[in-house]
A = this chain, B = another copy of it.
């Protein structure tokens, strides 16, 4: 029996939010690593809002995935064969391994080594993956929070937002979260360090924001854009910072939607509105992961994972995070049981 590599490829580009209909299976023989490469056996696939941008023509920061190609994804996998002396069989790596059982990976595809003793294997794609590291770097480098400032986070209970809340609180800020359900509000308050939180579906108006942020907003950590952002912007304080880390609430950018014009606010309040893409900061991963691991070991940094099992679940898992259904970082576990090999 020839070993098979199950792969999920992009079938065609979605107009807005991707769903299972945009992907298809396309199995291939197990590949062999060339010189300098490793064969990675994927254990956890990372499901990220950014994947929408990676398959859309025109809105992304990288060349989009070509229809017929394996879906671009971060993942944690174990080295199953190696032709690179830097990587030993059995060690766990985090990198660009795609929605497939196995990946032949060259060095630039590897982002970090995973150290299961810092938590778990899956944490390598969660707290110690792009979400945790982006939360830390975007908040501290673009936001530059000072004790006493108010930090408002959209998608407050999400894989990025939940870490932002805890770090901002640790830095002495008043932390306010917007999230999509009453259950997540409770989670924000009980677990993620938020001083106040609101289910935006139950009414995000000026009165609600005045109550949540009596001293205005100094840092708006925005993962959503859309109407949530439009409600928050008028509350920005003098010299406030808006960190654009995602645009999850906007279904389509073609044609470009409109928003209240913001130049006057930017000018008169000397706001700074900046975009953050974690892949600009790969050289920072090791140091940031070490910091996050210290806090996690102390018990002062919690992180939730929402894991489904089976490669074939990946497309539906991606669709589900845009409906806000995940309860923590969404991962797809490829266990021995679901792997055909």
Q: List residues of A whose CB falls within 8 A of some B CB.
A: 53, 59-61, 222, 225, 229, 238, 244-247, 250, 253, 256-264, 266-277, 280
Contacts and interface: CB of A to CB of B under 8 A. Distances in A.
Given A250-B263, A272-B275, 16 more contacts: A61-B270, A225-B263, A245-B267, A250-B261, A256-B260, A256-B261, A256-B264, A258-B259, A259-B262, A266-B273, A266-B274, A267-B275, A267-B277, A268-B275, A272-B273, A272-B274
A228 B188 CA distance: 42
Nearest to A259: B261
A267 to B, nearest CB: 4
A268 B229 contact: no
22 contacts: A53-B268, A60-B268, A61-B238, A61-B270, A222-B263, A225-B261, A229-B263, A244-B266, A244-B267, A247-B267, A250-B263, A253-B261, A258-B258, A266-B275, A269-B275, A270-B276, A270-B280, A271-B273, A272-B272, A272-B273, A272-B275, A273-B274
Instruction: Give the oligomeric copy count.
Output: 2
A120 to B, nearest CB: 30
A282 to B, nearest CB: 14
Contacts of A264: 59, 225, 247, 250, 253, 256
Nearest to A271: B275
A270 B257 CA distance: 19
Nearest to A59: B264
Nearest to A233: B256
A260 B253 CA distance: 10
Nearest to A229: B263
Nearest to A142: B272
Q: Output the residue of A247, A263, A274 with the most chain B CB within 10 A.
A: A263
Nearest to A241: B274
B269 A244 contact: no
Contacts of A259: 258-263
Given A59-B268, A270-B280, A244 B263 contact: yes
For the complex of A and B, list the 3 residue pairs with the smallest distance between their C-beta atoms, beginning with the closest: A225-B263, A267-B275, A259-B261
A59 B244 CA distance: 24
Contacts of A253: 261, 264
Contact of A274 (B244, B250, B270, B276): B270
A158 to B, nearest CB: 16
A267 B229 CA distance: 14
A274 B271 contact: yes
Contact of A263 (B53, B60, B247, B260): B247
Contacts of A274: 266, 270-273
A258 B250 CA distance: 16
A51 to B, nearest CB: 14
A112 to B, nearest CB: 22
Contacts of A246: 267
A185 B81 CA distance: 65
Contacts of A266: 244, 273-275
A146 B226 CA distance: 34
Q: Output the residue of A229, A246, A258 with the most chain B CB within 10 A.
A: A258
